[in-house]
Amino acid sequence: MERIYFDNAATTALDKAVLDTMLPYMTEKFGNPSSIYSYGRESRLGIENARKTVAKILGAHPGEIFFTSGGTESSNTAITAAIRDLGCRHLISSPIEHHATLHTVENAGHKEDVKVSWVKLLPDGHVDMEDLRALLAGSKERCLVSLMHANNEIGNLLDLHAVGNLCKEYDAIFHSDTVQTVGHYPFDLRNTPVHFINGAGHKFHGPKGVGILYINENVKITPYIQGGSQERNMRAGTENLYGIVGFAKALELATEHFEEHSQYINSLRLYMAEQLQKHIPGFSYNGDLFGRSLYTVLNASFPKSEKSEMLLFNLDINGICASGGSACTSGADAGSHVIRAINNDPNRVAVRFSFSRHNTKEEVDKVVEKLKELI
């Protein structure tokens, strides 16, 4: 059976050129980067060159880039450090964050002596900036604001500069989960008012199990993971050598082809929305599809019926991969906390379709045809 993969916000296929770059570090260049002999120095050079590449692309200093196991570890590190090292006693986040942020903030609220506030959302899922200002202005304690750059389920984009400048006004620390946007948009961190951002290699055709944490050079924190001097004493544990090299290569390729790929992927997304509007009665979408929105994600909403309730299962049987909101919770049928927060209508079913440069219009047509049958 032909398989159609429309779940690229969950993970993407590893690029062949990225694999080719990684292979030497999986075979002959296998030294421990902490060793001082030639094998070790060769591995260390691979890591430091990767760091320089990532820093240059993101408009950061190499000393501000730290390699981690992925976006989840990076978010945990930033939030924990803001509380422990930077004096933040009031955490402000949104109810539609990825669980890596949401659960970390909730956990801190239960265990630490910190207050937690959830910023209000506008009907289209964007953060209510007036409410954010009111929360910051009304806080007696130093705040950490943790808001994602692009929502992984509905695709809404945050204005990093607007939030960052607001944080600056109230001396707040700003962390943004940029897992869905690093590798998908250009960054200029030297001119972006943010203290922490994070990325994950597997979201832009790089390897799984490797990510970055950007820590602004003016921020001083202590390690989250103890036990070694790796990552300039900031992240203990032998480095994921081939993952790091692969991350840098994937980011390089994504940046090089950004204009061409982003336009193509966005055209697929809008074409699918148009076709669903035309052929599926009662179709609508969640989020700000035609406004400030991630070009890879279409969150489709269908009227609930006996057929549509089994939609993901039936799509899977027909070789079509999509998800009901966040792939990170696909093992449990708990529904989507994001959809509940913005459109808590029990009579609608949400399906996230997310695209990459490997998808085609022919695939969109086949999926729409199948949806006509299934709904």
Question: Active-site residue numbers?
Answer: 328
DSSP 13: P
Q: Distance (Å, rounded) from C-alpha 15 to C-alpha 187?
A: 22
How many contiguous H segments (helices) and E segments (strands) does the chain have?
A: 13, 12
Q: How far is CA 8 from the centre of its chain?
A: 11
The length of the chain, given as a count of residues:
375
Q: Distance (Å, rounded) from C-alpha 167 to C-alpha 136?
A: 8
Q: Identify whether the C-beta of residue 177 lies closer than 8 Å to the C-beta of residue 146.
A: yes
Listed as own residue / partner, the contacts of 51-59 with beta carbons closer than 8 Å and 24 or more positions apart are 51/244, 51/248, 53/248, 53/251, 53/252, 54/212, 54/247, 54/248, 54/251, 57/187, 57/251, 57/252, 57/255, 58/182, 58/187, 58/188, 58/189, 58/214, 59/187, 59/188, 59/189, 59/190, 59/191, 59/192
